[in-house]
Amino acid sequence: MGVTSWYAWASTLLQVAAVAVGGPLLMGLMAKVKARSEGRVGAPVVQPLRDLRKLLGKERLHARHSSVVLALAPMVILASTAMAVAISPLVSTRPLLSTSGDILVIVYLLLTGSAAAALGGLDVATAFGGMGASRAMTIGALAEPALLVAVIAMSIQSRTSNLGGIVSATLAHPDWVLGPSRLLALGALVIVVIAETGRIPVDNPATHLELTMIHEAMVLEYAGPELAVTSLGEAMRLGLLFSLVANLIVPWGIATRPTALALVAGVVFLGLKAAAVALGVALIEVRSAKLRLFRLPELLAGGFVLSVLAVVTGLVAR
């Protein structure tokens, strides 16, 4: 096995492992920050990992009239997210299949997971599942275009839509980071990531009030290992989006050379940058209230406008 092949395999496995462990830890970190901000001690940061281990040991339960869709949806969510993690520039700019790390491919993989979650929520035909699925699809339809256009704004500067190419070009031109196009794209990405991960003000992951649930309504019928797989897939999705935002905006620290030391440094820097993004999102949640459902299109439309402005600014700068 050549150096390049070893490096690609190692960076890919490290990325998937780092996001699989780091995603739940980021959720625990945000919960801890919110608890401290509210004057509470809160659960330990590793609590989401403990919950996953506990769920894996519980019994599988299915509604009597559910179909195979309910059982397959968690695996599709996890597999699509893991594939997106594997081809994205997180720890290294050259993971295995890095040439497939186009923004369109990443968005389609995330959409596959979202569609599987919605179908799983609809399969049992409960009122909550249908309500959560319809709301999630509405938010996704409004958020995904803003995500696409925001990354297209970055690709105009880099002359490529490959995420690894965008990161490498930003490393070669550090002055782009403070440019108006990149700052507008950052604002759009923050709004999209908050919407895609179901955080306040778009959704409240801690609520079980039926009138406000979105993601939680779709997973009410899951239990045991299937709930663990679904929760892990959603945590990895959060870790992937936080990491992509961090690396697209501040790419320093990512491994660019095929050495073991560079990979270790890439994992460390990825963890620090993703934790910083999680801390910022948690502080936004502490100081914000959940918006009414009919106000969400206004917020997501604002993200889309920012992304379009980023594209226009990038075209003018060229």
pLDDT, tens digit (0-9, with 9 covering 90-100), for 218-272: 887 888 899 899 999 999 999 999 998 898 888 888 988 888 888 899 999 999 9
Q: What is the mean pLDDT of residues 153-157?
A: 82
pLDDT given at position 211: 61
Own/partner contacts of 42-48, CB < 8 Å, gap of 24 or more, are: 48/24, 48/231, 48/235
Highest mean pLDDT among 45-59, 145-159, 167-181: 45-59
Per-residue pLDDT at 2 exceeds 50:
no
The model's pTM is 0.89
pLDDT, tens digit (0-9, with 9 covering 90-100), for 70-111: 889 999 999 999 999 999 999 988 887 777 667 888 888 988
Q: What is the mean pLDDT of residues 20-31?
A: 93
Domain ranges, residue 131: 3-317
Count of structural domains within the chain: 1
pLDDT given at position 210: 61
> DSSP state, 294?
G
Longest dimension (CA), the chain: 60
pLDDT above 90 covers a percentage of the chain that reads 25
| Tokens found for residue 209 | 């009030």
Q: What is the mean pLDDT of residues 277-289?
A: 86
pLDDT given at position 18: 93
Could you give the angle at the alpha carbon of 192 between the alpha carbons of 189 and 198, nearest 5°? 135
pLDDT given at position 150: 85
175 exposed, middle or buried (CB, 10 Å; 0-12, 13-18, 19+)?
exposed
pLDDT given at position 9: 86
Query: What are the Cα distances from residue 208, in Å, to 132, 137, 153, 216, 230?
Result: 12, 19, 38, 7, 17
